[in-house]
Amino acid sequence: MVLDYKDVSFSFKRKKRQRLFKKVKYLALLLLLILGYLVASRFVEARQLKKIQVWLLAGKPAEALALLDRLGNSIFHPDSKTELLALDHLLKGELAEGERLLAGLSRDSTQVDSRDFLDYFLDNARYRELKIYTDYLRAKGEDVRYYSIIYRIALFEPGWTSALLDDPDVPQQAQHQKALRIIARAGEELKTGKKNYIFDVNGKPLAAYDLKKQGTIPLVPGINFDLLNAHFTGGLKYYQLTLDRDIQEKVHALFTGYSGSFILIDLKDGGLLSAYSKSRFLPGVNAAFSESYAPASTIKILTLLAFLSAGKEFSWPFNCPGKIDIERKTFYDWRAHGAIDTYSQALALSCNLVFARLGQEVGPTGLVSFLEQFFFNAPPFKDLFFEFKTGTVSRQVRGNYQLARLAVGLSGITVTTLHSALISALVAQDGSSCTPYLVKNMKNILEVSFYNHESKLLTALKDNPAFPLVREGMQAVIEYPDGTGRRARVDFVQLAVKTGTAGEMKAGYDAIFTGFFPANRPRYAFAFILQQAGRAENEGAAFLGAFLTSFYAGSGNKN
């Protein structure tokens, strides 16, 4: 057979070109796959970095850092991880470490959305963090003049703001026109050297900051603002408290010639309408929150409640001779009350002998554990940076004589004025009340709230059927002809109270009062101590009557 190739064209060069084209095609396909992988990786990394940012800003640093560790070093933006680590330190308040990490970064851009963090620091009045991050971004060439204006005025540098505010090139100036007007107004106020920054529930100023002295000037008496001052030095912010300046000033006028402390609680939310301190022994501090003293007979409302809650029965009438012997010791009352027929009468007369007997019926363990349900021996209540201390009760009660003194509040037990008012609030509302608080809200330099108090409910023996009987006895303290609080009676509002007198005649008795009003529809709970002023049924009752007259005179307060 003979093969004929005359019509066949064959070239080794063509074959070589075909093989080369095939290699190029495979290489292009490989490069395309690599490019697709890189694009997809960058997309995935961007989503992961965004998730890390969201978790950091949501207060979930553990989750954010765990994902950051899994992400490793970015091949696209190697500084992103370091920047996020620095921001984590800033969010935690570790300013030095955060600033150190940012200072070591290059000027290359990162995938971090800086605006989210700038706005977070601004919204939450964290101006030092805002300054550190803004300065870092400015060094990278980003236009952050708007945030520079904010942190400089917020950190009390008013001289910087005039030129910046007049700069037509400040980014998005039209968008921030309202904010810039607020900032400019704050800057003008700072030029005077003083800035009102603490306000009452009605918006009236309570305190101003003196830039020259770098301290707070109280504009209302009877309360120490040092804790707020310490936080204000971190940057300009505004505090609205639950205090009513008018009420605080009325209480101050009534304390002329007296020492002690006073608390008035608004029962609708637990806000402190007045928190007045003028302690003889702890001057200059918020004694109403912290100074402990013997509650004396005011504790009898809980002794009675403990007895009734235990299902005990008492044999009436009870004859009070004025003193009895307990364990070969004489246990005294102020006077011999004679025949006492009811619990309300016993509370109205404040008969020590009746309540000594009630305490013995409940027993030391039962009485102490009952008192602890009303927050004795409890940790302080916290309201941001304020602490409201509670009273104490000894768990070691040796014998009936000590038990009798505990039952009438003369030994083994202490209260603070705030705790005493809280007990009355709980009794007034069948064992429930909102946690007492003072700081209503906080606002940043743009007057936008970044903190608002949320009421929390406290309970102690909620809906116990003994509460109405105790409240009836507290009203009898005022209404009964010989009641120890009768001199505090006024015609325009019904009261439910308990008096207490502690101390010694030589030094001067402490007059103590606690209670709530109006008695039929409780709206306010209160407590006060007049140190070394005299007996509660005299000086204390006169003080309470004067307070109520002042409180209701020419005001919008209603029953």
Q: What is the pLDDT of residues 150-183, one digit of tens each?
A: 998 899 875 655 555 555 555 556 667 788 888 8
CB 74 within 8 A of CB 111: yes
Torsion of CA 166, 169, 175, 181, to 10 degrees: -10
- pLDDT (tens digit per residue) in 42-71: 555 667 788 888 889 999 999 988 888 877
pLDDT of residue 143: 86
Residue partners of 428: CB distance under 8 A and separation at least 6: 267, 471, 496, 516, 522, 525
Which of 23-27, 272-276, 338-342 bottoms out in mean pLDDT, i.e. has the lowest?
23-27
Q: Which amino acid, 539? A: E
Select from 77, 79, 97 the least CA-distant residue to 88: 97
Whether residue 254 is predicted with pLDDT greater than 60 in this model: the reply is yes
- Report whether CATH 3.90.1150.10 matches the domain 248-440+452-552: no
Structure tokens at 58: 């949501």
Greater model confidence, 229 or 6 = 229
pLDDT of residue 455: 93
Outline which parts of the chain fall under CATH 3.40.710.10.
Answer: 248-440+452-552
Output the CA–CA distances (angstroms, integers) from residue 229 to 187, 207, 217, 474, in the order listed.
19, 10, 9, 40
CB 147 within 8 A of CB 131: no
What residues form DSSP beta bridges with 439? Answer: 241
Cα separation, 559 vs 472, whole angstroms? 18
Query: Residue 77 — very low, low, confident or very high, per pLDDT cuts 50/70/90?
Result: low
- pLDDT (tens digit per residue) in 279-336: 999 999 999 999 999 999 999 999 999 999 999 889 999 999 999 999 999 999 989 9
Three-class DSSP category at 13: helix
- Please report, in angstroms and rounded to a whole number, the separation of the first and last CA atoms in the chain: 128
Q: Which helix (H) or strand (E) holds 386?
A: strand 386-388
CB 308 within 8 A of CB 470: yes
CB 54 within 8 A of CB 91: no
Cα separation, 303 vs 166, whole angstroms? 69
Q: Which helix (H) or strand (E) holds 340?
A: strand 338-340
Q: Which amino acid, 322? A: G
pLDDT of residue 107: 67
pLDDT of residue 30: 65
pLDDT of residue 39: 47
Cα separation, 286 vs 274, whole angstroms? 12
Torsion of CA 60, 63, 65, 70, to 10 degrees: -160
CB 449 within 8 A of CB 438: no
Parallel/antiparallel/unpaired status of strands 194-199 and 238-241: parallel
Whether residue 122 is predicted with pLDDT greater than 50 in this model: the reply is yes
Cα separation, 466 vs 415, whole angstroms? 23
Greater model confidence, 112 or 423 = 423
Q: Is 486 exposed, middle or buried (0-12, 13-18, 19+ CB in 10 A)?
A: middle
Query: Residue 32 — very low, low, confident or very high, per pLDDT cuts 50/70/90?
Result: low
Give the rounded percent of residues in the chain with a pLDDT score beyond 70. Answer: 86
CB 167 within 8 A of CB 150: no
In this structure, the chain runs to a length of: 559
Residue partners of 481: CB distance under 8 A and separation at least 6: none
**If you average pLDDT over residues 417-434, what whole number do you get?**
97
